[in-house]
DNA sequence: AGGTCTTGTTTTTTCGAAAAAAACTCGCCA
DNA sequence: TGGCGAGTTTTTTTCGAAAAAACAAGACCT
């Protein structure tokens, strides 16, 4: 169970890795790129991933690609068809429903514990991240995605269960693939929903926060499902 | 999120893959072998995995090994230290505690739904698997591990949530690494605990089953923790 | 002694070539 | 028409060599 978010949590618009003492390996970089492309929908669900084509596209050798692909396949973002190459995991209506149900449960669990343990630093963090999130619209793509994920992570920041955090992240990332499949509803008040969550946390009102979280996740899912059925 | 149990669920004492139309790839086989060795403790926690040594030990080339290792690293069974090779993930007291808490919750959730949906086929399956499990002792290693996992999977077989099943399996496998770290307590009644779970399910007594499950998992954990502190 | 520079050794990372499979083409036949 | 099979092309899988990085052992300096 490796933490699957960028190592240091910093966000860079161009996707470059931050400089550090030890340069990261190529496999790592390509993994990150591919992962991002899959999550953002640039590599669309179900698409066959031919090694030759990827070699061109990402400018690296076979082994590097295959290492990255196996990694993604263990995460479930890519499926490997024995001896018939790789393919971006398809999106399935039922999986989305199933996943959302689990997500709601896990997020609520984490939220409960977060609100129990929350302190000043938490509040500061939340406000700061919310402020940053408010600068972007969902249609802004990458930057919005980044701060959105960060905000949701910050919401449950005081929850001291790495395993739970890990599972949350796993499901969050998977959901992103679905979210990107649809154009966003223009008369939905995204920011408002997040502000409501923020407020409930500042009030330490666990019941309210959990209810809002369920609504928030369910609403997104319903919109995606609606577009599925068209 | 790929299902991480052997593809077809059959068990073979010698660990050979079942014959099928399309032979599986070498990477797949090595992944499975390495995975098993890590879970069974044959490759002990924290151990540095040198490529050269593995090349000898498993008789395959670099790429094959690295693909398998990356896969395991995505599952969290191995950690990759950028440019400093791989190592079996160490076991951590806190992680075990954390994981157990989550496991209890997920298992209970699944159990609830299973008991709701359970039917005749379920009962037959459970009895059959329990019978097979009863033929082995925990010290028998692989075969016991196999039927033990199968039994726990069968307990929640009617739960129709692939995502939940997936997460359960993930945590179950991880726990196995901890379980194997200790000699089993001789005056613990393993089989009895499992029979009690079986009975509660046949009675469709969800409350009882959930309580037993919590006890079952917690007891194992406590034994492991005790040996940690020595 | 403690630090650090140099140099040689080990280990990991990355690449492209060769082997092995799979997919495709096209002619043949029923 | 539709299925079968030989031969060809494409694509994947596997390997070992070469490059790059990490590590270890002394030599030297303060």
Which nucleotide comes closest to B23 if you measure CA to C1'? C21
Q: Which residues of A touch B (CB under 8 A)?
A: 1-2, 22-25, 27-28, 62-63, 66-68, 70-76, 79, 82-83, 95, 98-99, 101-102, 105, 109, 161-164, 167, 170-171, 174
Q: Looking at the structure, tell me whether residues B193 and B97 fall in a common domain.
A: yes
Q: Looking at the structure, tell me whether residues B80 and B178 fall in a common domain.
A: no
- A33 in a domain, yes or no? yes
Query: How high does pLDDT run on average in chain A?
Result: 90
Using a 7 Å cut-off to protein CB atoms, list the covered nucleotides of chain C.
11-17, 21-23
Q: CA at B145, C1' at D15: how many angstroms apart?
A: 35
Q: Looking at the structure, tell me whether residues A219 and A154 fall in a common domain.
A: yes
- B153 in a domain, yes or no? yes
Helix (H, G, I), strand (E, B) or coil at A92: coil
Q: Looking at the structure, tell me whether residues B84 and B119 fall in a common domain.
A: no
**pLDDT for the residue A1:** 41
pLDDT digits (tens, 9 = 90+) for A22-76: 689 999 999 999 999 999 999 999 999 999 999 999 999 999 999 999 999 999 9
Q: Looking at the structure, tell me whether residues A59 and A130 fall in a common domain.
A: no
Domain count, chain B: 2
Average pLDDT estimate for A121-130: 97
Q: Cβ distance A156 to A118 under 8 Å?
A: no
Q: Looking at the structure, tell me whether residues A51 and A110 fall in a common domain.
A: no
- B14 in a domain, yes or no? no
Report how far residue B201's alpha carbon sits from residue B112's, in angstroms, rounded to the nearest whole number.
10
Interface probe with B: pick from A17, A60, A74, A108, most Cβ of B within 10 Å: A74
What token pair was written down for A125?
A: 């963090």
- B66 in a domain, yes or no? yes
Q: Looking at the structure, tell me whether residues A125 and A190 fall in a common domain.
A: yes
Residue A12 reports pLDDT greater than 80? no
Report how far residue B58's alpha carbon sits from residue B69's, in angstroms, rounded to the nearest whole number.
13
Q: Looking at the structure, tell me whether residues B216 and B110 fall in a common domain.
A: yes
- B20 in a domain, yes or no? no
DSSP state at residue A22? S
Report how far residue B167's alpha carbon sits from residue B55's, in angstroms, rounded to the nearest whole number.
32
Q: Looking at the structure, tell me whether residues A185 and A114 fall in a common domain.
A: yes
Between A139 and A115, where is the model more confident?
A: A115
Q: Looking at the structure, tell me whether residues A119 and A182 fall in a common domain.
A: yes
pLDDT digits (tens, 9 = 90+) for B151-198: 999 999 999 999 999 999 999 999 999 998 777 777 889 999 999 999
Q: Looking at the structure, tell me whether residues B187 and B112 fall in a common domain.
A: yes
Domain boundary (A40, A67, A88) is at A88
- A15 in a domain, yes or no? no
Report how far residue B155's alpha carbon sits from residue B205's, in angstroms, rounded to the nearest whole number.
13
pLDDT digits (tens, 9 = 90+) for B122-144: 999 999 999 999 999 888 888 99
The CATH number of whichever domain residue B78 belongs to comes to 1.10.10.10
**pLDDT for the residue A19:** 40
pLDDT digits (tens, 9 = 90+) for B50-102: 999 999 999 999 999 999 999 999 999 999 999 999 999 999 999 999 999 99
Average pLDDT estimate for A77-95: 96
Helix (H, G, I), strand (E, B) or coil at A158: coil
The CATH number of whichever domain residue B148 belongs to comes to 1.20.120.530
Task: Give every strand in the sheet of B48-49, ordered side by side.
Answer: B48-49, B86-88, B78-80
B50: left (phi over 0), alpha (psi -120 to 50) or beta: beta
- Biggest CA–CA distance in chain B, Å, is 55
Between B126 and A186, where is the model more confident?
A: B126
**pLDDT for the residue B177:** 94
DSSP state at residue A10? -
Domain boundary (B66, B88, B110) is at B88
**pLDDT for the residue A22:** 67
Domain boundary (A88, A117, A134) is at A88
- A12 in a domain, yes or no? no
| Domain ranges, residue B160 | 93-228
Q: Looking at the structure, tell me whether residues A119 and A58 fall in a common domain.
A: no
- A128 in a domain, yes or no? yes
């Amino acid at each position: 169970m490796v933490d699957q978010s960028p190592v240091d949590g910093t966000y860079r618009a161009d996707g470059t890795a931050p400089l550090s003492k030890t340069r990261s390996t190529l496999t790592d970089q390509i993994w990150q790129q591919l992962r991002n492309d899959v999550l953002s929908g640039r590599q669309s669900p179900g698409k066959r991933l031919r090694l030759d084509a990827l070699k061109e596209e990402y400018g690296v050798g076979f082994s590097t690609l295959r290492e990255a692909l196996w990694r993604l396949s263990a995460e479930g973002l890519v499926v490997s068809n024995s001896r018939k190459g790789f393919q971006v995991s398809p999106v399935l209506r039922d999986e989305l429903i199933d996943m959302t149900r689990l997500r709601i449960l896990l997020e609520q669990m984490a939220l409960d514990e977060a609100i129990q343990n929350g302190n000043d630093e938490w509040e500061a963090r939340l406000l700061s991240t919310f402020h940053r999130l408010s600068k972007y619209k969902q249609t802004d793509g990458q930057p919005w995605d980044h701060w959105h994920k960060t905000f949701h992570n910050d919401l449950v920041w005081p929850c001291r269960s790495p395993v739970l955090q890990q599972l949350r992240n796993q499901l969050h990332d998977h959901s992103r693939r679905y979210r990107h499949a649809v154009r966003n509803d223009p008369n939905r008040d995204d920011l408002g929903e997040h502000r409501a969550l923020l407020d409930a946390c500042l009030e330490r009102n666990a019941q309210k926060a959990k209810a809002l979280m369920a609504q928030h996740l369910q609403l997104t899912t319903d919109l995606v499902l609606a577009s599925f059925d068209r």
